[in-house]
Amino acid sequence: MITALRGTVDILPPDTALWQHVEQCARDVFARYGFAEMRTPIFEQTDLFVRSIGDTTDIVEKEMYTFPDRKGRSLTLRPEGTACIVRACLEHKLFAPGKLLKFFYTGPMFRYERPQAGRQRQFHQTGVELFGTYSPLADADVIAMMVHFLEYAGVNKVLVQLNTLGDAESRAAYCTALRAYVMPLFAQLCPDCQRRAERNVLRVLDCKVPSCKAIFSAPNVPRTTTTLSAAAQQHYDAVRRALDALKTPYVEDPRLVRGLDYYTHTIFEVRHGALGAQDALGGGGRYDGLVKQMGGPETGAVGFGIGLERLVIALRGTHTSPHERPPDVALVALDATALQDNLVLAALLRAKGLSVLSNYDLQSVKAQMRQANNAGAAWVILQGEDERSQSLVKLKNMRAGTERLCTLDEAISHLTSSNP
């Protein structure tokens, strides 16, 4: 038997209804804030991700699905959405001075990670990108929108963690302070962190090795907030004031860093208690340098990505999954002629917008009625020799338990008027 690959998952009904619910909520909420959907390919040139995410990040160093195509070009299955959206905006010349651009996306992402609960190799994210402003109000609005979406989808008690990396100047000062702290501990670090200490010291803060985690959660580890330039401090203060005005609760975590190199200023993560070890539902931040770095104009940008598997897990605990649409009517055939008539009747009712349960093989009336009942059908139409000889059908109201004989036209108009 051929099975699905490790780290990939089939999403089956009735779970798909929960996925559709989440995706619909994303569309509803993001549209209210003026975000339009963008769909980009799931594979891109490898360089796109190496240049944007950063060549010393975990994603680029060890998690990308990279392979040569038949002409030997290096391709990569997208590990995240932001680089793809920036590439598409550049390619389609969407950036223009003073123009706000707002996009969202939903789809599969690929990272070669060790699979566990809430961590897969193919997973799904929905995310947003807002381009064209440096205003801290945009950072706050995007964070508030993320919380709005999660609550609208049915997740409660999310925790927003907030930090700032500051501008280039603050970040460089912080890296110097962090390196000064790390170097005396060099011998105790894991081999990855020893490399990080030299090449990209910020990355040590999200090392998952327990001994490194213990070292970097000590109270005297330098905080990003102590090396902020005056401008970066002002930006951060304004983000917090705006979040307070929006009544979006957050906690500050001055050691929060994110796994991608392109962030500047505000970064945030949203956690949820029901998720266990993998408790980050999503995260994001400002990335003012990325568009320019990818060959475009200087552009202020802020966005986030949310893991849909984890959102679905969080909803399972607190939210009753919306059922798939029960049939408005089930068609019960008492003989083979009725079975054939029902095929045509079902098509007619569906064309009128009703959802119809109907069979291809003849079964006992009892079995068909049980099926209609289990599926939650509101009405049943029964047809057999007796009904046919009188040019009538039997219409049964499943809720009230009543039934009557009527013409097919009467039954149809009754159903369509009671199911507008």
Please say which residue, 126 or 227, places its beta carbon nearer to ligand AMP. 126
Please say which residue, 42 or 280, places its beta carbon nearer to ligand AMP. 280
Kindly identify the residues of this chain, within the stretch 296-325, that bind ligand AMP according to CB under 6 A: 305, 307, 309-310
Q: Is 75 exposed, middle or buried (0-12, 13-18, 19+ CB in 10 A)?
A: middle
Please say which residue, 181 or 287, places its beta carbon nearer to ligand AMP. 287
Query: Could you tell me the smallest distance in angstroms from the CB atom of residue 258 to ligand AMP?
Result: 6
Cβ neighbours for 390, distance < 8 A, ≥ 6 positions apart: 405
Kindly identify the residues of this chain, within the stretch 14-43, that bind ligand AMP according to CB under 6 A: none
d(CA 40, CA 413): 45
Query: Could you tell me the smallest distance in angstroms from the CB atom of residue 322 to ligand AMP?
Result: 22
Q: Is 135 exposed, middle or buried (0-12, 13-18, 19+ CB in 10 A)?
A: middle
Query: Could you tell me the smallest distance in angstroms from the CB atom of residue 213 to ligand AMP?
Result: 17
Please say which residue, 239 or 281, places its beta carbon nearer to ligand AMP. 281
Please say which residue, 1 or 277, places its beta carbon nearer to ligand AMP. 277
Instruction: Please identify which residue in the block is written with the tokens 């809720």.
Output: 399
Fill in the per-residue mask, 101 to 140: x = in contact with ligand AMP (CB under 6 A), - = not in contact: ----------x-x----xxx--x-x---------------
Looking at 44, 58, 80, 139, which residue binds ligand AMP (CB under 6 A)? 80
Query: Could you tell me the smallest distance in angstroms from the CB atom of residue 63 to ligand AMP?
Result: 8
Cβ(103)–Cβ(128) under 8 Å? yes
Q: How many residues bind ligand AMP (CB under 6 A)?
A: 18
Query: Could you tell me the smallest distance in angstroms from the CB atom of residue 66 to ligand AMP?
Result: 16
Query: Could you tell me the smallest distance in angstroms from the CB atom of residue 285 to ligand AMP?
Result: 9
* Alpha-carbon Rg for the chain in angstroms: 28
**Nearest residue to ligand AMP, scored by beta-carbon proximity:** 307
Kindly identify the residues of this chain, within the stretch 227-286, that bind ligand AMP according to CB under 6 A: 258-259, 280-283
Tokens read off for 48: 């796109």
Please say which residue, 283 or 327, places its beta carbon nearer to ligand AMP. 283
Query: Could you tell me the smallest distance in angstroms from the CB atom of residue 118 to ligand AMP?
Result: 6
The residue type found at 103 is F
Please say which residue, 46 or 125, places its beta carbon nearer to ligand AMP. 125
d(CA 124, CA 393): 48
Cβ neighbours for 325, distance < 8 A, ≥ 6 positions apart: 355
Cβ(388)–Cβ(338) under 8 Å? yes
Nearest partner of 269 among 124, 259, 210, judged by Cα: 259
Fill in the per-residue mask, 191 to 220: x = in contact with ligand AMP (CB under 6 A), - = not in contact: ------------------------------
Please say which residue, 161 or 419, places its beta carbon nearer to ligand AMP. 161
- Residues within the interface to ligand AMP (CB under 6 A): 80, 111, 113, 118-120, 123, 125, 258-259, 280-283, 305, 307, 309-310
